[in-house]
Each structure stands twice: as structure tokens, then as C-alpha cells.
Amino acid sequence: MSKKKKGSIEVVCGPMYCGKTEELIKRVTRAKIAKQSVLVFKHKIDVRYNIEKITSHSKIELESIPIQRSSQILETLKSNPSTDVIAIDEAQFFDNDLPNICNKLADKGIRVIVVGLDLDFRGEPFGPMPILLSIAEKVDKLSAVCNNCGKPATRSQRLINGKPAKYNSKVVVVGEKELYEARCRKCHICKRKSNK
């Protein structure tokens, strides 16, 4: 009697600069050492380092497939039916169908590793991440180091001309150290625009 593969969803989340992508690369590398077939996806919007690779802030890279919609994961899987592991970087950028797709994959016996920012620059739940956190079998929430006080950071501070971005600024802005810092709850600033 053959064993049915056990599918699952793992989520790694936290602010910018906490090592989420490095953790994804580590898990994918271990899966490859175990001779598992792996597909790695990233959102096309993320072109910070390389269009066809996921890259950590410390410049560790891994080949990936850039896609626009989460449904493209299922389309790619059709031509790779023996896939054991699917890894998704920067999940916060994807559409709200991503949790449904991840559930389908896990139900097929695939290990799904999802990495993303759990909070946007305002400190509010980001994209499909809240649902992914709810449906996952395993969740790891990482912290960075606050650029302001050195304590554990759980927020991503967006800066515009060196000053904290206003609450009503555009939510999705891809950037690096010129636009973002890691901050703790106390040092994170995002003022709502006054109605006065």
C-alpha cells in the first residue's frame, strides 16, 4: 500500500530585514538535498535584485518563477505534476485567491512554504497574509532589529525623503533601505491625515 503524501502550509512572516527570504531559501535548499522536486515563485512586481531569482537582503539567491496572479501557480503545476514543495516569496503582493490556491496544493499532498510581510507600512494586515496565517499548519513570525532603538522590530517603517510616510500613502511601494527601516512598535510612526 503506497503512502499518501501529507500536504501542509507553512508561513514565515515578519517585517522587512528579519530574514524571511533567507529562511525560505534554507527550507528550499533542505528540500532539494532530500531529493524533493521544488517550484519557487515570486511576484513580478518584486524586481529589486533580480527578475528571475528571489534574493535575500544579504544577497543569497535562488532561481524562481516570476508570476502576476496566484492562479499561475496551478497552471505551472500542470506541467510539473511530480512537485513535492511549492515556495512563494513576497506573498503579500498576491491576490486574495492565494490562500485558496495554497489550500488546494496542500490538499494534493504538496508542502507549501509561504513567506511575506504580515503587516504593511501602516502596521495593518497586508494582502492575503492574515488568511494564510489562519490556515497554516505552521507559522514562524520573525523579528528584525529596530533601526531607531535596537529593540526587536515587528514593523516596516516607510520613509519619504527621510520622514515617516503618511497613513494615506500608497500601500504597495517596492523598495529597499532608501524607503524602509525595521521598527519596534514604540518607534513605528504612521500618522493618519487629520480631517481638520
What are the mean pLDDT values of the chain's consecutive 10-residue runs (196 residues total)? 76 95 94 96 75 66 89 95 95 96 97 97 94 98 96 93 80 70 94 55
pLDDT at 177: 62
Which domains does the chain carry?
A: 8-143 (3.40.50.300)
pLDDT at 155: 96
- Do 65 and 41 meet the contact criterion of CB atoms below 8 Å apart? yes
Alpha-carbon distance of 67 to 61, in angstroms, equals 17
For residue 65, give the nearest of 79, 54, 49, 78 by alpha carbon.
54
44 contact partners, CB below 8 Å, separation of at least 6: 51, 66, 67, 68
Q: Is 139 helix (H, G, I), strand (E, B) or coil?
A: strand
Alpha-carbon distance of 96 to 71, in angstroms, equals 11
pTM: 0.87
- Do 121 and 171 meet the contact criterion of CB atoms below 8 Å apart? yes
**Active-site residue (options: 90, 124, 176, 181):** 90
pLDDT at 61: 76
Alpha-carbon distance of 96 to 126, in angstroms, equals 11
* 63 labelled catalytic: no
pLDDT at 48: 61
